[in-house]
Structure 1
Amino acid sequence: MFSRRLAVAGVTALVMAGLGGCSGAAAGDAAGASTGGGSHVRTVDGATTPSPDTVSGLRDGVRHVSAVTTKATRPHLVRRCTGATRRVTHTRRTGSGKRRSVRTWYTTEHYQRCGKVRQGTETYRRVTRPEHWCVRLDDVGGNRSHDDVWYRVTHTTYTDALAADDHARLEFSPRGTGC
């Protein structure tokens, strides 16, 4: 069991060391910051080589879709305790051999029985559509036929794309497609 834990710890240390080497930014370049006068968006970890899930293209537009909430009701639960009793058995053994005897007696123990019970309803705000940020790209992956493709991105990537010039080359890791 100890050798298995040691092996798992060793593998974990190697993976963390490998990931730590990939997270550093180039000299003079802040991690996650845009370069080239705001024309290029990097991934959050500042990786210089694009990963398979990285997309690139020309900035065509940005869109912020705010969250939509609605009022809803749910049961209001409160903790309620009631006094309760239980019968407790006590046993006392004395003597040994033929003179051994067992005496049993009972007592009543008082305790609190608690649980959550419904007491009316309460209103709350339910999110029907979460907030998300989108970037539209042209020439996705250098292919001129892939235009007007929307990608959902993080708020940081959205802010960088918003600051970038129109038709500037962007590169980022999207959270999903469509907006």
Structure 2
Amino acid sequence: MFGRRLLVTALTAVIVGGLGGCSGGRGDDSAPDRPSASVGGAPAPAPAPETVTGLRDETRHLAERTTRATRPRTVRRCTTGTRRVRHTSRSGSGIHRTTRTWYTTEHERDCRRVRSGTETYTEVLRPERWCVRLDDVDGDREKDDVWYRVTRADYDTALAADDHARLEFVPQGRQDAGC
């Protein structure tokens, strides 16, 4: 009975796997054709990051915001001790069986982390951010004043560029992401 159940389960898994491989991974017909997993045995290439183009409007640098905080300090504390261990050895058989017993002292060490006061550390409330605001985002004149988080290098490029100069970069965060 168990063998038959295992056989049915394995057969079901093979059928579901085969149907899943044939589906191509698309749920609707309106999506463009893309390779589903691999081409010629090689893994599918990662999608290229989406670049954003627009006219430079404004730049903003948000400095890192930190505060001093305290937390419990833990230290490793070890205790040593000894314990007496009983050993036995048996030999012979029947009425000639003898048991020899002896004791040894074994040393043991027990280490634990325990609280010992507090320590202060620097807690980051807001990480450092570089932001650029664009007009005419991706050529759409209706999309103005959209903020993007960018890398430091892209920020420096935008800072050095003239007002309303065309910029192209890969945003680090979604638009209007905390800028």
Alignment coverage as a number of residue pairs: 136
Give yes or no for the alignment of 1:154 onto 2:151: yes
Q: Structure 2 counterpart of 1:117, which letter?
A: V
Q: Structure 2 counterpart of 1:149, which letter?
A: V
Matches within 5 A, 1:19-58: 51=48, 53-58=50-55
State the structure with more CA Rg.
2
**Paired-residue identity, %:** 62
User: What CA distance in whole angstroms lies between the structure 2 residues aligned with 1:165 and 1:15?
Assistant: 42
Name the counterpart of 2:74. 77
User: What CA distance in whole angstroms lies between the structure 2 residues aligned with 1:53 and 1:86?
Assistant: 67
For the aligned residue pairs, the C-alpha RMSD in angstroms reads: 2.6
In the TM superposition, residue 164 of structure 1 has moved relative to its aligned partner by 2.2
Q: Structure 2 counterpart of 1:76, which letter?
A: R
Contact 2:49–2:170 (CA<8 Å) still a contact in 1?
no
Superposed CA deviations along residues 97-142 of structure 1, whole A, max 9, x for unmatched, are 4345443444331222111111111111111111111111101111
**Structure 1: gaps spanning 5 or more residues:** 1-10, 20-49
Poorly superposed stretches of 4+, deviation over 6 Å: none
Q: Structure 2 counterpart of 1:163, which letter?
A: A
**Structure 2: gaps spanning 5 or more residues:** 1-38
> Alignment partner of 1:127: what SS?
strand
User: What CA distance in whole angstroms lies between the structure 2 residues aligned with 1:140 and 1:59?
Assistant: 10
TM-score by length of 1: 0.65
> Alignment partner of 1:166: what SS?
coil
> Alignment partner of 2:164: what SS?
coil
User: What CA distance in whole angstroms lies between the structure 1 residues aligned with 2:83 and 2:51?
Assistant: 65
TM-score by length of 2: 0.65
